[in-house]
Amino acid sequence: MTHKTEHKKDPSKTTISLELAKIRIDRWLNAMLQIPGFKKNPDSIPRAIYISFDDIDALKKECEQYYSKDTLVGIRVYFGIAGETMPVSATPDDMRGLVVPVLKVHPSAPHTDAVHKDASNPNPNDTNVYDFTSPCPQYCDKQSELFVPIS
């Protein structure tokens, strides 16, 4: 049985306890420690992605030029690794969250990525895929209660 979390308008109904959050973060860290590169360097384990409200607001404003408020229902963040043009292996600092608008295009497709590429446009970056996130490690709040020590 899969558990599906739907968007709720009341954020207070989607919160979890700090203790449960720490358990889930600890489980993530322990799962990542199974990967040899992270086992050798646990401080490099990806922990979070920061996205400013200014960027979210700008993305929403940009998307509302093309999609109705009823159709535009959120964003999705895909994980990726930058540094693709570098001759050496990627590092954890290359972690990215690639943000795309999500649309409700039909009741049977309530969460559809609004990724597009105009074949007639010579600009290969003219898509709805945005790269404006900041990864942790590098941009971490090491004083946060959610910065769980690696066990």
Q: From the CA atom positions of the chain, what is the Rg in Å?
A: 18
Pair (73, 109) in one structural domain: yes
Pair (41, 51) in one structural domain: no
pTM: 0.72
* Digit-coded pLDDT (tens) for 76-108: 999 888 877 776 777 767 788 889 889 888 888
Pair (61, 111) in one structural domain: yes
Residue 94 placed within a domain = yes
Pair (82, 111) in one structural domain: yes
Q: Which tokens go with 18?
A: 């700090």
Q: How far apart are the first and last CA of the chain?
A: 30
Helices marked H in 77-127: none
d(CA 18, CA 24): 10
Domain that holds residue 111: 47-145
Pair (74, 123) in one structural domain: yes
Pair (74, 29) in one structural domain: no
* Digit-coded pLDDT (tens) for 31-55: 999 998 889 989 888 899 889 899 9
Pair (99, 136) in one structural domain: yes
The structural domain count of the chain equals 2
Other residues' Cβ atoms within 10 Å of the Cβ of residue 95: 24
